[in-house]
Amino acid sequence: MSVTRLEVLSKDTAYPVLIGAGIVRALPRLLSEHGVNDQRLLVSTARIWRLHGARLGQALAPRDRPALMPDGERAKTLATAESLYEHCTRRNLDRSAAVVACGGGVVGDVAGFVAATYLRGVRLVQVPTTLLAQVDSSVGGKVGVNLSAGKNLVGAFHPPVLVVCDTEVLATLPRREFRSGLYEVVKYGVIASPALFTQVRQHLPEIFGHNAGLLSAIVADCCRIKARVVASDERESGPRRVLNFGHTIGHALEALTNYRRFRHGEAIGYGMLAAARISAMRGLMKADDEQALAQVIQAMGPLPAVADLRIAEALAAVSHDKKVVNGRLHFVLARGIGATEIVADVHTRELRAAMKAIGMV
C-alpha cells in the first residue's frame, strides 16, 4: 500500500494526514498509534455505513457500533449535535475519549463540533469518505453547525489528531457527489496551483474514471495547499480567507434554497464563476483565465438552475455571511489562475452584476 503522509501545523501541535488506496484497513493500528483508546464514539450515517460498514466493521471492534446521524446539509444542526452528546453520555465517555468521524463534510463538521464541545473538548479523528471532505473540510480544524440565518454560524477551531483519506472509498460515490468535490479541487487550482488546475482540465475522463494514482495525487496536492495556508493562519484572521474563494455567493445560494437544491460544491462552482466575473470587471483576472475557469466547470457537468433565484434575497443572505467583519465583507478575488487577492470593498452593484452574470434574476 502506497501512503502519502503530510503534516499540518496548528497552534499547539501538528497532526498527520495519511492518503492512500485501502488505508482504512489499517485504521485500528493508526488509532492506537495516535493514542485513541477504547473510549471513542464513531459517528457516521446510515448510507455511509451501508456502503463502508462491512469494511470498517472488519477493521474495528464490536464496541465501535456507530452513532448514525441524518444525511445532508439540513442535518448540520444543533439538534443533531445534541443527539450525539446523548450517545457520548450513554457510553460514559470521559475526557480521554475521541470522536471518530466517518463520512462526508457534514459528518466531519458536526462530529467535530461535538468533539470540540463535549466535556470542553475531546480528541477528533477524521475519516472522510467523499472527495470534498478529503480535499477540504477534513483538514484545518474548522468544525460547526448551521443556523437558519446562515451556514457555519456556530462553530469552533478544533484540529483533529489524525486524518485518514482512503481514495478507494470514492468509487462508491454517485457521479454528482464526486463532481461536487471536484469543484473544490478546481478552487485549489485557482487560488494556488496552475499545475493542479491544468491537471484537472486535461484529465477529467481519467479523474471521473477513478484513476487511483491520479486521485491520490490530487487529494495530496489539495491537502498540501490547505496545510500550508492553515499553518500561516489557523484562525482565519487573514491569509486563510483565500480558501473561501467562491464561498460567499455559494453559501448564499445554499441558504436561499434551504440546503435542498445544491450540493455544496455545486454552489461553490457558481460562486467561483461570480467571483471570477468581479475579478475580471476589476481588471484583476484576464479574460482567458475567466474563460478557462468557466470551461472546466462546464465540462464537469450540469449545475442546478439558478434562473428563479432573486438577487435581492441573495444579497440579504450575503449580509449574514461570517466573513463580514465590522460591517465589511471580506471577499476573495482571483488575480488569475493560481493567485488571489482579499478585498473588503466589493460593492453591492458588483455583487449584483456577478449574480446576474451567472443567471440569477
The length of the chain is 361
| Identified catalytic residue from 76, 87, 142, 330 | 142
Q: Is 244 a catalytic residue?
A: yes
Q: Is 266 a catalytic residue?
A: no
Question: What 3-state class would DSSP assign to 165?
Answer: strand
| Identified catalytic residue from 40, 158, 187, 240 | 240
Q: Is 226 a catalytic residue?
A: yes
Question: Please, are residues 153 and 192 in contact by the beta-carbon 8 Å criterion?
Answer: no
Radius of gyration of the chain (CA): 20
The torsion angles phi and psi of 340, rounded to 5 degrees, stand at -135, 170
Q: Is 142 a catalytic residue?
A: yes
| Identified catalytic residue from 73, 168, 234, 236 | 236
Question: Please, are residues 200 and 207 in contact by the beta-carbon 8 Å criterion?
Answer: yes
Q: For 263, what's the count of Cα atoms within 13 Å in the CB-facing half-sphere?
A: 22
C-alpha cell at 78: 444543533
| Identified catalytic residue from 168, 184, 234, 254 | 184
| Identified catalytic residue from 247, 263, 277, 330 | 247
SS3 readout for 270-311: HHHHHHHHHHHHCCCCCHHHHHHHHHHHHHHCCCCCCCCCCH
| Identified catalytic residue from 146, 244, 266, 277 | 244
Residue in 69, 71, 8 with CA at minimum distance from that of residue 232: 8
Q: Is 264 a catalytic residue?
A: yes
Q: Is 251 a catalytic residue?
A: yes
| Identified catalytic residue from 92, 120, 326, 349 | 120
Q: Is 92 a catalytic residue?
A: no
**CA–CA separation, 276 and 274 (whole Å):** 5
Residue in 332, 134, 298, 157 with CA at minimum distance from that of residue 221: 134
Question: Please, are residues 78 and 152 in contact by the beta-carbon 8 Å criterion?
Answer: no
| Identified catalytic residue from 179, 226, 263, 322 | 226
Q: What type of residue is 105?
A: G
C-alpha cell at 170: 470514492
DSSP code at position 141? -
Question: Please, are residues 246 and 201 in contact by the beta-carbon 8 Å criterion?
Answer: no
Question: What 3-state class would DSSP assign to 157?
Answer: strand
Q: Which residues are catalytic?
A: 120, 142, 184, 226, 236, 240, 244, 247, 251, 264
